[in-house]
Amino acid sequence: MSSVSQSVQCCIAGGGPAGMMLGVLLARAGVSVVVLEKHGDFLRDFRGDTLHPSTLDVIDELGLLDRLLQLPHQKVSRINARFGEMELPVADFSFLPTRCRYVAFMPQWDFLNFLVEAGMQYPTFRVCMNAEVTDLTVAGDRIVGLRTMTPNGPTEILAPLVIGADGRHSLVRTQAGLSVEEFGAPMDVLWFRLSRRPNDPVDPMGRFDVGRILIMLNRGDYWQCGFVIPKGTVNNFQAQGMSAFHVNIARLAPFVSDRVREVDHWDIVKLLTVQVDRLRQWYRPGLLCIGDAAHAMSPVGGVGINLAIQDAVATANLLSLPLRENRLKTEDLRSVQMRRAWPTKVTQYGQLLIQSRVIKPVLASSQRLSPPRLVRFMTRFPALQRLPARMIGLGVRPEHVHSPDIHAG
């Protein structure tokens, strides 16, 4: 079957938060860009749904915040954790120096559709759905484009810059031969839904008990729940049967014991295999990876989207002008990694610390549970409680939109 060739200044593999935000920002700066999404829509459950204060700041800088907040969402100003019978504050976002001092919980498909609509106002922006990347196009030592399979057949897209934003199982980074550093994780997560009643708690929370952890996120009319299990033990839990699973949930959150049977078969329980890794080098000539394709994050703190959006903003700030003026160099790609590698490393270090000092001991515990030493220490000094809110809500290095809107006025 013959292929069709197209040319743009930037081709982005992956229509998640990193890829879609970057596409909007580059088109806004006058760069011709196409975003390739292998699915026909964004309707996949149990994806990250958190829009943190720094992400909302970026949307505000684009003049789109009021429109975004018209979409259904829940505002969360505080996150709590319950260890046995003791409930403690984890993060209070009301102290942050931002316009939105809360995390907005919004279905990711709504957010991505919103970004598509925002991008469509620019003549150089294009999205191709049902376009699955199959290979990279290489000339010498340089990536010069990629190949994709579309409903109309195979297509080759040539571009001075290819962006890998295709997630933690990135085909782009694999095909590019980029080396990955693995850090491991002691847990996996089973995601499922339970209905929410008017008298239920409001704030999202983590519930920790002997050998068990349950994360509950308020989605308005339902709870999105994550049952944390030791790494690689999903078959053991399934072998114990659904009734045992119901008992575990009810023990952690007694107020939902009357509805745990809504989860009546394993097909509606989705496994998230947790991994934490990072590329040693995010780029090679003609190609750059960002977001989860560059650094898969632990679900601790729910900061993956925040990091991905920040990567996209930094990439647009540093590369839009060289791309528009057709003078992009490999050193420009290196500058993106130089800016974003340090906040990524610090964030992952914090996640690994929580995994080893909090999550792993709880999952291994067999006695009456009390808050881990790290949590007790932060509780003793209230000023330290602002640090998790800062790390979760803003991140180590928040990014702000500097790339110009050449269509303004």
Q: What is the pLDDT of residues 85-125, one digit of tens each?
A: 667 777 888 889 899 999 998 888 899 999 999 999 999 99
Same-domain pairing of 165 and 309: yes
Backbone angles phi, psi at 141, to 5 degrees: -100, 10
DSSP summary character for residue 204: -
pLDDT digits (tens, 9 = 90+) for 42-61: 766 556 688 999 999 999 99
Residue 313: CATH number of its domain: 3.50.50.60
Range of the domain at 308: 4-73+102-183+275-361+373-393
Give the pLDDT score at 21. 98
Answer yes or no: is 87 within a domain: no
Alpha-carbon gap, residue 302 to 291, rounded angstroms: 14
User: Could you tell me if 195 and 299 lie in one domain?
Assistant: no
Q: Are residues 158 and 179 in the same domain?
A: yes
Inside any domain, residue 170? yes
Residue 316 makes CB contacts below 8 A (sequence gap 6+) with: 22, 25, 26, 29, 401, 403
Are 177 and 218 in the same domain? no
User: Is there a single domain that holds both residue 64 and residue 193?
Assistant: no
> Are 253 and 299 members of one domain?
no
* Residue 173: strand, helix, or coil: helix
pLDDT at 94: 85
pLDDT score for 387: 81
The candidate with the shortest Cα–Cα distance to 376, out of 364, 391, 361, is 361
Predicted local confidence at residue 40, as pLDDT: 78
When pLDDT is averaged across residues 139-160 and rounded to a whole number, the result is 93
Asked whether residue 161 falls in the same domain as residue 202, the answer is: no
User: 349 in a domain, yes or no?
Assistant: yes
Residue type, 119: G
pLDDT in tens, 310-369: 999 999 999 999 999 999 999 999 999 999 999 999 999 999 998 988 888 888 876 666
- Pairwise CA distance, residues 311 & 300, whole Å: 19
Tokens coding 46: 């149990």
One domain for residues 133 and 195: no
pLDDT in the model for residue 43: 66
Q: What percent of the chain has pLDDT over 70?
A: 91
**Boundary-marking domain end, from 207, 240, 272:** 272
Residue 389: pLDDT band by 50, 70, 90 thresholds?
Answer: confident
**Residues 268 and 280 grouped into a single domain:** no
Does 149 lie in the same domain as 134?
yes
The per-residue pLDDT for range 56-72, each reduced to its tens digit, is 999 999 999 999 999 99
Number of domains in the chain: 2
pLDDT for the residue numbered 118: 96
23-39 confidence digits (pLDDT tens)? 999 999 999 999 999 98
Indicate whether 378 belongs to any domain: yes
The amino acid at residue 220 is: G
Q: Is residue 403 part of a domain?
A: no
Helix (H, G, I), strand (E, B) or coil at 103: strand
Q: Which of 92-96, 189-193, 268-272, 290-294 is modeled with the greatest confidence?
A: 290-294
In a domain, 84, yes or no: no
Contact 213, 167 (CB under 8 A): no
Q: Is residue 25 part of a domain?
A: yes
In a domain, 113, yes or no: yes
What is the structure's pLDDT at 164? 97
Please check whether residues 173 and 243 belong to one and the same domain: no
Q: Considering just the CA atoms, what is the radius of gyration of the chain in Å?
A: 22
Same domain, 253 and 350: no
Q: Which token pair is 21?
A: 């935000």
pLDDT of 159 higher than 50: yes
pLDDT of residue 205: 72
Indicate the pLDDT class of residue 1, thresholds 50, 70 and 90: very low
Q: Check whether 300 has a pLDDT greater than 60.
A: yes
- Can you tell me the distance from the alpha carbon of 291 to that of 343, in angstroms, rounded to the nearest whole number? 12
Q: What pLDDT shows up at residue 367?
A: 66
Average pLDDT over residues 123-137: 94
